[in-house]
Chain A
Amino acid sequence: MPLPKSLKEFFENLKELPQTFQKSFIRHDKPTSDRARSQIIFGNSFLHIFSTRIHRYSLKPKFTFGLGVIAASSFIILIVTGVLLMIYYKPSVELAYDSIKDIQFIVPGGRFIRNVHRWATNVMIISVFLHMARVFYTAAYKRTRQFNWVLGIGLLALTLMMSFTGYLLPWDQLAYWAVTIATNIAASFNELTDALNITEYFDPGSLMKILLLGSKEIGEDALIRFYWLHCIILPIVLVMVLAVHIWRVRKDGGLARPDNIKEKELEGIPKDPLSDKTFNYAPEKTYGLMCIVKGESNAVERGPEQTVSSWPHMMIRIAALFMITFTFICVYAYFVDAPLKEMANPVVPENPAKAPWYFLGLQELVSYSAFMGGVGIPTLALLGLALIPYLDKEKQEIGRWLRNKESRRVAWISFGFSAATVIGMLIFTVSFGWLRNWVPNIPQLVITFINPGTVLVTFFVFWSFYCMAKYKSTRMAAIALFTCFLVAFVILTYFATYHRGPNWDFYWLKSQWPVH
């Protein structure tokens, strides 16, 4: 008896199931043609955030140093390890510390995963800072990319907030007092309102602190809030802003690049054999323009310029960067344990109580004036950073590190100028003190506005305007100001980390801290 037709079909379908399933799952052919390679990228909802073809210049290692990818990689590592840590971590004052101890001692792989999580944070913060410097010095924030630069500044702030909220969770002395310092920085608006005698009516400092802590002291409420911010709110916001950040790079036609790239600059970077060809008929083109891109020319009837397929050329580089980052963090985590001090004790402060290292530059400024160091100068700096692309609209070449001699000159001189003023100011303050030491009854308002921090900022601003006048260029002024702030940030962070001891006094070495 012949099998009914439908049954026959059924068996055939069954036989073909693996193949048909795979075809329905992966909708493109094997990546042997450029077309299939493009399909991999734009047919995948995760990868389509990248463009299908990438300019060869963007693959130049010495142009980006892969810093953005390293930052994103460490963020992915942080998400994965963080989710694993959430299984055992208990966000309660009584249990938090013990749960970290358990993670440390008996949870399989717990110590290692916690170490990876901790050190990936530092890699992320450092790479975010360096990525920002790269974008600035290659002028990649110009033309259509202004808002993406603003998003980048937002991501920097989010990264710092993520790290800061995570800092409290172990509930040890280090965490507790670092967060105490940082929340006091948040509350430092008080210094200004107190000096003006308006705290009674207008008290944003205390409001900030209460919003952050949910109470006047760091306790259960603060822990839950930090946990909620660290594990839910901030990651979601960060993922979304990051997606937009990368998406906009693609919409702006890939990474910033100069208009006239010489063949010499692209040495060693893979090349599409069709690059130099001019097409007469559209069908000969190997890729379609997925959308209209803002820019000065479009690619109709021309070869794929100096682009190559993103798959595999970009993807393999991303994979390599991810692997390097991950391996580096794992090796470090194998040898160095994440810090965990005594359980938090609200009665006995750490001395010195230091904020997380990336806030130590600020803490140094806070030691001069809480308001200026904690609110005034950082707000000014973040605002200044975000507004750079709107104030410096000079038309210039983008995508090359400090292209002309002049800008390199300005950067180097600013480096020297900033280093000299910051170090000089530190030496001066350490040896002679400041206004309060000379005039004990000086009103706080005077200190708030005239302190080493504000004096430095004034120096930098004047220097920047001087450069603007001298070189008749806003870009030069921006380079001068950015360099000054970057150098000051690094020096102050270093100084507060290594040379500030108990009572925030100056010491050459940690071994000189008074013991008994």
Chain B
Amino acid sequence: MKTEKIILISSLILIAVLLAEAYRENINNEWQPFQKLYKKELKKKAIDKKEQKLADNYEIKMRQIVVPELNRVDRCVICHVGIEDPRMVNVPQPIKVHPGDILGDHELEKVGCTVCHDGQGRAVTKKEAHGVSVAFWEKPLMYPPFLESNCVRCHNVESLPELTLVKKGKDLFLRNGCLGCHELRGKGGNLAPELTNISDANIHLKHPVSEELLDRFHHNANIAYIYESVKQPGAQPEITAMPDFNFSEEEILALTVFLKGLSKKEVPISYLAEIQEGKQPETVHGEPLYRKYCVACHGTDAKGGVKNINYIKRTVPELNILAERMFLDEPENANKVSELLKNGVDITKMSPKLDVPKRGRVLAQYRAIRNVIKRGSPAGKADPEGPEPLLHMPSWAKGLSDKDIDSIIAYLLTLYPWEQEETSE
């Protein structure tokens, strides 16, 4: 072929491609028809001349809500043009008005869309913006019941009664000893992954969930992964120390909604619905603390029984025999120590002297137990050649104060089954 011909043909192809690209980008895009439709509806619904004129002047253009405080640019309104227009009721999506009266106290210009709904605010096509089947957007559009999860970005669970699932999930979380292994905002154990930003984590990249689950949760891989991990701890990774809590389906969902709300705090203080006045005082009662941190491994009422592979004692030790361990043979003595510890008295002080038999041994043992809680203790292997046991007593020096530890010991001392012992004798 002649060189000139090559140049001519490739130039023609190039012009065609550039024109096609210009057409695709500027004329044949997804959002223009919706704005035209909205304009038509505006004209139809105009009741006076002024509105008629407004409708005529309605411009077809790129639209976005920029919220610098939230570091968000939401172009959702490029299609959802009627979102604030109460007249847009009997019209097709996406130009419908926002349902409910939420926009009444959530000013659109100040809040935007994605802080509540997730999705990809910067995108201008449905597929990319909703992010539902886009592999590389981690926070696709949320659907109920998970919409609740994002409310906690600004609101307090306790003060917003609508957040039933989040509240239920939080209660379950605090009552089942999840913090024993998982850390949440600086509190909790270190045996398991931290949960502070679990809803931002793309851990699902490492452990992809099945298509079925993805379909169920509108292709939100993060929700699907959280759900799977709560429902079936051993799903992946297979080797896990997390016991199966046998939650009901409803409880699993509530926990998932709660966990989905644990994301990086990305709203400035001015956006918080009620600025909390100081932190709520951490409870120092032994039992709630035990339920919060210890119950998952040491069992209900400290009866033990959670399996620990290749551990010398096979199961995590029971703690309801603590009184015996501390050489407190009589219920009254145990109760006395328990009472003192509960009230925050330092029983190791010389005066007033702790008045129980075998005081020296009691105190030595008390110190030893405190040390185990503070420093942790590795689990010994039953079979030296076998695998490392998965559960170890973690160190609580950072998570629990001395007072917390004392009140937990106080609680454990009250659990000793005195009556049973008497009957067996």
Q: Which residues of A contact B (CB under 8 A)?
A: 94, 98, 101-102, 105-106, 108-109, 111-112, 172-173, 316-317, 319-320, 323-324, 326-327, 330-331, 334, 340-343, 345, 347-351, 515-516
The answer to whether B206 touches A348, judged by C-beta atoms less than 8 angstroms apart, is yes
* Contact of B14 with A326 in the complex, beta carbons under 8 Å: yes
Q: Once the chains bind, are A334 and B17 in contact (CB under 8 Å)?
A: yes
- Report Cα–Cα, A112/B19, bound state, in Å: 12
B206, A351: Cβ atoms closer than 8 Å: yes
Chain B residues contacting A98 (CB-CB under 8 Å) are 73, 122
Which residues from chain B contact A515 at a C-beta distance below 8 Å?
208, 210
| B residues near A105, Cβ cutoff 8 Å | 75, 122-124, 128
Q: A101: which B residues are within 8 A, CB to CB?
A: 120, 122-123
Q: How far is the CB of B261 from chain A (nearest CB, A)?
A: 20
Q: How far is the CA of A404 from the CA of B11 in the complex (A)?
A: 40
CB-CB under 8 A from B206, the residues of chain A are 348-349, 351
Instruction: Name which residue of chain A comes closest to B211, CB basis.
Output: A515
Chain A residues closer than 8 Å to B207, beta-carbon distance: 516
Question: Binary interface profile of B, 1-39, with partner A (CB < 8 Å = 1, else 0)?
Answer: 001101100110110011011100110000000000000
B interface residues, how many (CB within 8 angstroms): 39
**Which one of B3, B10, B13, B75 contacts A106 once the chains associate, using CB atoms below 8 Å?**
B75
Segment at the A interface, from B87-95, B104-112, B197-205: B197-205
Cβ contact of B124, chosen from A94, A106, A324, A334, cutoff 8 A: A106
Q: Give B125's nearest chain A residue, CB to CB.
A: A105
Question: Nearest Cβ in chain A — how far from B200, in angstroms?
Answer: 9
Task: Tell me the bound Cα distance from A343 to B139 in angstroms.
Answer: 11
Report whether A342 and B25 are in contact in the complex, using a CB–CB cutoff of 8 Å.
Answer: no
Q: Which residue of B lies closest to A61 (CB)?
A: B3
CB pair A112–B21 under 8 Å, yes or no, is: yes
CB proximity of A97 to chain B, nearest CB, Å = 10
- With A334-B21, A516-B208 known as contacts, the answer to whether A342 contacts B202 (CB < 8 A) is yes
Residues of A within 8 A of B73 (CB): 98, 102
Would B62 and A342 count as touching, CB distance under 8 A? no
Sample (17) of A-B pairs whose CB atoms are under 8 Å apart: A101-B120, A105-B122, A105-B123, A105-B128, A108-B25, A172-B136, A316-B7, A320-B3, A323-B14, A324-B6, A324-B10, A326-B14, A327-B13, A331-B17, A348-B206, A350-B205, A516-B236
Choose one: A319, A334, A343; the contact of B20 (CB below 8 Å): A334
Query: Once the chains bind, are A109 and B21 in contact (CB under 8 Å)?
Result: yes
Instruction: Name 5 extra pairs, CB < 8 A, besides A105-B122, A106-B62, A173-B202.
Output: A98-B73, A106-B122, A324-B10, A327-B17, A345-B201
- Identify the closest chain A residue to B139 (Cβ): A342
What chain A residues lie within 8 Å of B236 (beta carbons)? Answer: 516
From A350, which residue of chain B is reached at the shortest CB distance?
Answer: B205
A349 to B62, CA, bound (A): 36
The residue from A319, A334, A341, A348 contacting B7, defined by CB atoms under 8 A apart: A319
Which residue of chain B is the closest to A319 with respect to CB atoms? B7
A341 and B205 CA atoms in complex are apart in Å by 11
Proximity string of chain B (115-128) to chain A, C-beta cutoff 8 Å, 1 when within and 0 when not:
00000101110001
1/0 per position for B185-217, CB-CB distance to A under 8 A?
A: 000000000000000011101111110000000
CA of A515 to CA of B221, assembled, Å: 13
B137 at the interface (CB under 8 A from A): yes
Q: Which residues of A contact B13 (CB under 8 A)?
A: 327, 331
How far does the alpha carbon of A515 sit from the alpha carbon of B122 in the complex, in Å?
30
The 6 A-B residue pairs with the shortest CB-CB distance, nearest first, are A323-B10, A327-B10, A327-B14, A320-B6, A341-B136, A101-B122
Bound complex: CA A324 to CA B13 (Å): 10
A330 B18 Cβ-Cβ under 8 A: yes
Query: A374 → chain B, closest Cβ, in Å?
Result: 25
Give A8 to B128 CA distance when docked, in angstroms.
69
Contacts A324-B6, A334-B20, A516-B210 given; indicate if A342 touches B138 (C-beta within 8 A): yes
Residue of B nearest to A328 (CB): B10
Quick one: closest A residue to B228, CB to CB?
A: A516
Q: Which residues of B contact A343 (CB under 8 A)?
A: 138
A340 CA to B73 CA, complexed, in Å: 19
Q: How far is the CB of B354 from chain A (nearest CB, A)?
A: 48
Chain B proximity of A17: nearest CB distance (Å) = 33
Interface string of B72-84 (1 = CB under 8 A from A): 0101000000000
Q: A319 CA to B8 CA in the complex, in Å?
A: 11
Task: Give Cα A330–Cα B18 distance, bound, in whole angstroms.
Answer: 8
In whole angstroms, what is the CA distance A342 to B236 when docked?
22
The contact string, 1 if C-beta is below 8 Å from chain A, for chain B 50-62, is 0000000000001
Chain A residues contacting B136 (CB-CB under 8 Å) are: 172-173, 340-342
Q: Give chain B residues whose Cβ lies under 8 Å from the Cβ of A111.
A: 25
A351 touches B205 (CB 8 A): yes
Chain B residue with Cβ nearest A514: B208
Query: Closest residue to B72 on the A side, CB-wise?
Result: A98
Across-interface contacts of B71 in A (CB, < 8 A): 94
Q: Are B138 and A102 in contact (CB under 8 A)?
A: no
- Closest residue on chain B to residue A326 by CB atoms: B14
Q: Which chain A residue lies CB-closest to B212?
A: A516
Bound together, the chains give a CA A330 to CA B22 distance in angstroms of 13
Q: Tell me the bound Cα distance from A339 to B62 in angstroms.
A: 25
Task: Evaluate whether A330 and B209 lie within 8 angstroms (CB atoms) in the complex, with A105-B75, A342-B137, A342-B202 already known.
Answer: no
Distance between B78 CB and nearest chain A CB, rounded to angstroms: 9
A348 proximity list for chain B (CB < 8 A) = 201-203, 205-206
Bound-complex Cα distance A516 to B208 (A):
6
**Interchain CA distance A316-B208 in the complex, whole Å:** 54
A440 → chain B, closest Cβ, in Å?
15
Nearest B residue to A115 by beta-carbon distance? B21
Query: Chain A residues near B22 (CB, 8 Å)?
Result: 109
Shortest B311–chain A CB gap in Å is 26
A91 to chain B, nearest CB (A): 17
Q: Complex Cα distance A128/B370, Å?
A: 69
Report the separation of the CA atoms of residues A342 and B208 in the bound assembly, to the nearest whole angstrom.
Answer: 15
Q: Please, which residues of chain B bring their CB within 8 A of the CB of A173?
A: 136, 202, 205
Instruction: Determine the chain B residues whose CB is within 8 A of the CB of A334 once the complex forms.
Output: 17, 20-21
Query: In the bound complex, how far is the Cα of B209 from the Cα of A319, in angstroms?
Result: 52
Given A340-B136, A516-B236: A330 touches B14 (CB 8 Å cut-off):
yes
Shortest distance from the beta carbon of B220 to any chain A beta carbon, whole Å: 14
Contact status B205-A342, CB under 8 Å:
yes
Across-interface contacts of A327 in B (CB, < 8 A): 10-11, 13-14, 17
Of the candidates B14, B18, B62, the one having the most CB atoms from chain A within 10 angstroms of its own CB is: B14
**Complex Cα spacing A515 to B235, Å:** 12
**Which residue of A is nearest B22, CB measured?**
A109
